[in-house]
Structure 1
Amino acid sequence: MNDKLKETNYPALYTLIVVFFFWGFIAAGNSIFIPFCKNYFHLDQFQSQLIDFAFYTAYYIGALLLFIFSTFSGKDIVGKWGYKKSIVYGLLFSALGAGAMIIAVEVNLYIGMLIGLFIVALGFSLQQTAANPFAVLLGDPRTGASRVNLGGAVNSFGTTIGPLVIGFALFGTFETISDTEIANLPLNKVIYLYIGVGLLFILAAALFHFSKKVPAGINNEPMESANKAKNMLIIMTILLLLMFVPVFLSYKSDTALQLEALSAQLAGTTDANTIAQLQNHITDLSHPLELQRMAWLFGALVVVVGCLILAYNKASKKPQGWGAMKYPQLVLGMLALFIYVGVEVAIGSNLGELLKLEEFGNLQSSEITPYISMYWGGMMIGRWAGAISAFEFSRSTKQILLVIVPLLAFALIIGVNTVAGFDMSHLYFFLACVAVQIIAFFLSKEKPVRTLIIFGTLGLLSMLIGLFSVGTTAIYAFLTGGLACSIMWGSIFSLSILGIGKYTEQGSAFLVMMILGGGIIPPIQGKLADIIGIHNSYILPLLGFVYIILFAFLARNFLKKQNIDTDNIQASASH
């Protein structure tokens, strides 16, 4: 037996990790785009969160379409095309989305921007489906996790600088601009940004296509049958559409138009009695309308949870036709990943609106960039630390790096924001929260169940502290939500596919679909914020952390019944 490691194809790997950067750069930049668009287009919090809806729903739709087409053909479409060609197609599709974004900005159309982001993310969905297994293929399978983690580290660097670059493109400066001035800003820098991004997509596609160092990566393994799972996912998609359409249409209803007229009348009057009467009338009309919208959105959440629970119940009684969904850890993991991505995105995407409150600093949209960069940078801190376990270091070296790497990552976040001209002194003491995360790493001991319980508890406590406090304490608490989320993807993923054998590829595809949570949960929190206030709306991420902790216990119990030891596996730190 030859134990010599297969040599890593480094030129191909370095080309590949460019796409990991794109995913993080655009996704984190959305957190700056949301408050900007809210002021620029005069939107409510739910409407502004449609940026996340468009972006993350595209991941789900893309993965679902690939799964459906693969089911019909009997072979994995991405494997049939080859990972190299699939990434090229994905990059070109994202370039098409960048073009759509440029047109939408040129004509000043919000729905056009949403369509552009949707197309960009559809390309990302194809890229992500191919990139992770491709990274494993580019060297010895035994060191595959380290290459995926390297991609994750670059992805996280993209999430740190994305808010800075997109913030500059939107506001045209790093100086403070009042929210009332935003509506009059020219968007020419956004056009330049997406011209640049589109050209980078095309350049990366060309590098992949013409590089002789990048292998085709063709995989002709047959697709495992899962017709019942496919039908359930199609039904779930249709039901989700039926839940969201009434909400969208309600913004053009007679009541909504009447509210617009009353708001315009309110803005044009200075008489105290008239103002009071108009405000009362607006409240009487808007409250039942907002509750109706919330009911439909809550229905969307019920659809996802209900369909997955129904799949679990049916598959446990008659597993034939359900494919990977016959495994309880996979179905519960799909729900956990749905909630995790939703919570991760919702905390960051609603943060800008929270910071506008007087008790949170009364910040303008142009001033929130350092906080958004620190939140998504918290993901980088955790993922860089989590990536250490994938390398063959001695135990003592790992322990030293587990302290040094998070501190270096924190210094990098402070550094890039300082270079950009932001005063970061108000975030220096966030280092104490990073220290808590380092302790959590030592306690979790690289075990997925322990990791989820400990980091889930960290997230839960941070949301509680944030909800029951204000000012710097609450801001630090909500930012700590990013530190808690940073390491969860790999742990949930590993526990979900553990023990599912030949269904591992299919199970992985189902899990990637659950990025859908980033498109469903942030708009729900946005609408909740419209009703009970942005601060109180953080009850939703708190409940999300509760389920993630519950999943850790449930997964361990189900795996124990299958005679699988959860203490002897490690998790990838990235996604």
Structure 2
Amino acid sequence: MPPARAKNPYFGALSLLTSLFFIWGFITCLNDILIPHLKSVFTLNYTQAMLIQFCFFAAYFLVSIPSGAIVKKIGYKRGIIIGLTVTGVGCLLFYPAAQLRLYPLFLAAFFVLASGITLLQVAANPYVTLLGDPATASSRLTLTQAFNSLGTTIAPYLGAVFILATAVKTSAELVQLDAGQLAAYQSAQASAVQQPYLLLAAVLFVVAGVFAAIKLPAITDQTEPQPLLGASSPSQSSAWQYRHLVLGAVAIFVYVGGEVVIGSFLVSFLTDPNLAALTEQNAAKYVAFYWGGAMVGRFLGSVIMQAIPARKVLAFNALTAALLVLVTMLGRGDWVMWTILAVGLFNSIMFPTIFSLALTGLGQHTGQGSGILCAAIVGGAIIPLLQGLFADHIGLQQAFFIPILCYLYIAYYGWRGCAVRV
């Protein structure tokens, strides 16, 4: 009878790190609520509205690799503290952006906020994989990512209550308001954004203080790479020489792009009179089902992947997600609302599984590999912008062919692309 597995000695540190996953999940998902809000306030088309996600996720591309160097130099703990502080500063910028009603300033605030979250991800994701048995890294990261999904599940509902509580007027309605009414309306819209983000900034600064005060385990990357099946040499000079990492970066690119595309367009999709025809506030609340499915799937996935290889679960989920999006794209009526919301359940394990599979065997290059993977999150900037262009020209529902292509590539990565070889 095999001996019982010992309790992870890093349980306390892992528990604390889960708070970070919750926080950045909550903040990131608020974008899905702000997109329809700002789209209406500034009378934007889909392409212009997707500049929000472009600026947010562009930060991952520009900041991830420098963040990897920062974490390598100052350590995981200090990287987390700086990341929390920068994120808090980004939240503070929403106050003047809302006060002045300047869309470019909103975009700048999204970039600063995302830069802090990027540093958090570069530090926290590999830290979780290193705090424990390498054999259960995928399961462990999936479990902590489940709390990320808890944040994304709660955010749409609270965003609908506080940010979308005041109905946004069209440009035609604004013209009919007198000066007093217009000032009152603009004040209400500004307050709806200012107060939640001021509160978030306060929380972030408090959490940064907590991390500064506590002691975390000093974990370093392995000094030598793990043996690679089929590798031509036992050591590589750069993470870029690992084929499964490069293919994994592409998988992260298309996964984040596909996930963000669906989340960003859900409110617009559900308010379409030819589909679910919900009000904007009710549609925002239904977004919680999409992210809630991801939360449930991650808790289940952390258990399932103890028994079934992670790559097989990844391939199955990706194929199922592609099928659900296809049905959504071709269908009509209220039921397509549920097929698109169900995609969240199958999205659940994709990011942490791709991330951990791509880092397998990198050893001393783990920090560099984490930076490369986080840079690939820029897919969340490029793919939604691309879908916005198609939505403006061929229609919102038809534009969903893009996430189908994303999920098909992820299925390939789980089937063959994740094999560890150089």
- Per the normalisation by structure 1, the TM-score is 0.64
How big is the shift at 1:98?
1.1
Deviates more, 1:494-503 or 1:330-339: 494-503
Structure 2 gaps of 5+ residues are 175-184, 226-230
Q: What is residue 162 of structure 1 aligned with on the other side? A: 155
Task: Judge conservation of contact 1:330–1:507 (CA < 8 Å) in 2.
Answer: yes
Are 2:255 and 1:369 equivalent residues in the alignment? no
Q: What is residue 109 of structure 2 aligned with on the other side? A: 116
User: Which of 165, 170, 176 is equivalent to 1:180?
Assistant: 170
How big is each residue's C-alpha offset from its partner over 1:80-120, in whole Å with a ceiling of 9 and x where there is no partner?
A: 31222211111111111111111111111111111112111
Distance 2:411 2:129 in 1: 29
Are 2:53 and 1:191 equivalent residues in the alignment? no
* Distance verdict in 2 for CA 1:155–1:41, change over 3 Å: same
* Distance verdict in 2 for CA 1:379–1:89, change over 3 Å: same
How big is each residue's C-alpha offset from its partner over 1:366-413, in whole Å with a ceiling of 9 and x where there is no partner?
A: 22122211111111111111122477xxxxxxxxxxxxxxxxxxxxxx
Are 2:41 and 1:48 equivalent residues in the alignment? no
Q: What is residue 458 of structure 1 aligned with on the other side? A: 320
Q: What is residue 66 of structure 1 aligned with on the other side? A: 67
Q: What is residue 471 of structure 1 aligned with on the other side? A: 333
* Distance verdict in 2 for CA 1:160–1:81, change over 3 Å: same
Q: For the aligned residues, what is the CA RMSD?
A: 3.2
Q: What is residue 37 of structure 1 aligned with on the other side? A: 38
* Distance verdict in 2 for CA 1:5–1:535, change over 3 Å: closer
* Distance verdict in 2 for CA 1:322–1:112, change over 3 Å: farther
Q: State the number of aligned residues.
A: 402
Following superposition of structure 1 onto structure 2, how do residues 416-431 of structure 1 map, counting pairs within 5 Å? none
Structure 1 gaps of 5+ residues are 71-76, 225-315, 392-444, 563-575
User: Which of 192, 201, 204 is equivalent to 1:201?
Assistant: 204
Distance 2:242 2:136 in 1: 27
Are 2:79 and 1:86 equivalent residues in the alignment? yes
* Distance verdict in 2 for CA 1:488–1:9, change over 3 Å: closer
- Whichever residue aligns with residue 170 of structure 2, its letter is T
Distance 2:133 2:353 in 1: 22
User: Which of 250, 256, 262 is equivalent to 1:347?
Assistant: 262
How big is each residue's C-alpha offset from its partner over 1:504-554, in whole Å with a ceiling of 9 and x where there is no partner?
A: 332232112111111111111011100101011101111112222233344
Q: What is residue 217 of structure 1 aligned with on the other side? A: 218
Task: Judge conservation of contact 1:496–1:555 (CA < 8 Å) in 2.
Answer: no
- Whichever residue aligns with residue 194 of structure 2, its letter is I
Q: What is residue 412 of structure 2 aligned with on the other side? A: 550
* Distance verdict in 2 for CA 1:194–1:128, change over 3 Å: same
Q: Provide the secondary structure at the position in 2 that maps to 1:33.
A: helix
How big is the shift at 1:45?
0.4
Distance 2:298 2:403 in 1: 20
- Whichever residue aligns with residue 260 of structure 2, its letter is V
Distance 2:414 2:142 in 1: 22
Distance 1:88 1:346 in 2: 30
Task: Judge conservation of contact 2:253–2:378 (CA < 8 Å) in 1.
Answer: yes
* Distance verdict in 2 for CA 1:328–1:536, change over 3 Å: same
Q: What is residue 300 of structure 2 aligned with on the other side? A: 385
- Whichever residue aligns with residue 375 of structure 2, its letter is M
Distance 1:85 1:487 in 2: 28
Distance 2:355 2:90 in 1: 29
Are 2:9 and 1:16 equivalent residues in the alignment? no
How big is the shift at 1:66?
2.7
Distance 2:126 2:243 in 1: 24
Deviates more, 1:16-25 or 1:177-186: 177-186
Q: What is residue 58 of structure 2 aligned with on the other side? A: 57
Task: Judge conservation of contact 2:130–2:221 (CA < 8 Å) in 1.
Answer: no
User: Which of 94, 101, 115 is equivalent to 1:101?
Assistant: 94
- Whichever residue aligns with residue 213 of structure 2, its letter is F
Q: Provide the secondary structure at the position in 1 that maps to 2:218.
A: coil
Q: Provide the secondary structure at the position in 1 that maps to 2:9.
A: coil
How big is the shift at 1:58?
1.2
Q: What is residue 365 of structure 2 aligned with on the other side? A: 503
How big is the shift at 1:136?
5.1
How big is the shift at 1:449?
3.1
* Distance verdict in 2 for CA 1:187–1:480, change over 3 Å: same
How big is the shift at 1:217?
3.2
Task: Judge conservation of contact 1:55–1:519 (CA < 8 Å) in 2.
Answer: yes
How big is the shift at 1:499?
4.3
- Whichever residue aligns with residue 31 of structure 1, its letter is D
How big is each residue's C-alpha offset from its partner over 1:397-454, in whole Å with a ceiling of 9 and x where there is no partner?
A: xxxxxxxxxxxxxxxxxxxxxxxxxxxxxxxxxxxxxxxxxxxxxxxx6223322321
User: Which of 453, 472, 491 is equivalent to 2:353?
Assistant: 491
Identity %: 34
Task: Judge conservation of contact 1:79–1:220 (CA < 8 Å) in 2.
Answer: no
Task: Judge conservation of contact 2:146–2:294 (CA < 8 Å) in 1.
Answer: no
Q: Which has the higher contact order (CA 8 A, sep 6+)?
A: 2
Q: Provide the secondary structure at the position in 2 that maps to 1:358.
A: coil
* Distance verdict in 2 for CA 1:220–1:493, change over 3 Å: closer
Distance 2:255 2:350 in 1: 8
* Distance verdict in 2 for CA 1:446–1:179, change over 3 Å: farther
* Distance verdict in 2 for CA 1:221–1:8, change over 3 Å: closer
How big is the shift at 1:9?
5.3
Q: What is residue 326 of structure 1 aligned with on the other side? A: 241
Distance 2:74 2:366 in 1: 20
* Distance verdict in 2 for CA 1:39–1:216, change over 3 Å: same
Distance 2:300 2:361 in 1: 27
* Distance verdict in 2 for CA 1:471–1:218, change over 3 Å: same
* Distance verdict in 2 for CA 1:506–1:223, change over 3 Å: farther
Q: Provide the secondary structure at the position in 2 that maps to 1:471.
A: coil
Distance 2:416 2:131 in 1: 35
Are 2:378 and 1:516 equivalent residues in the alignment? yes
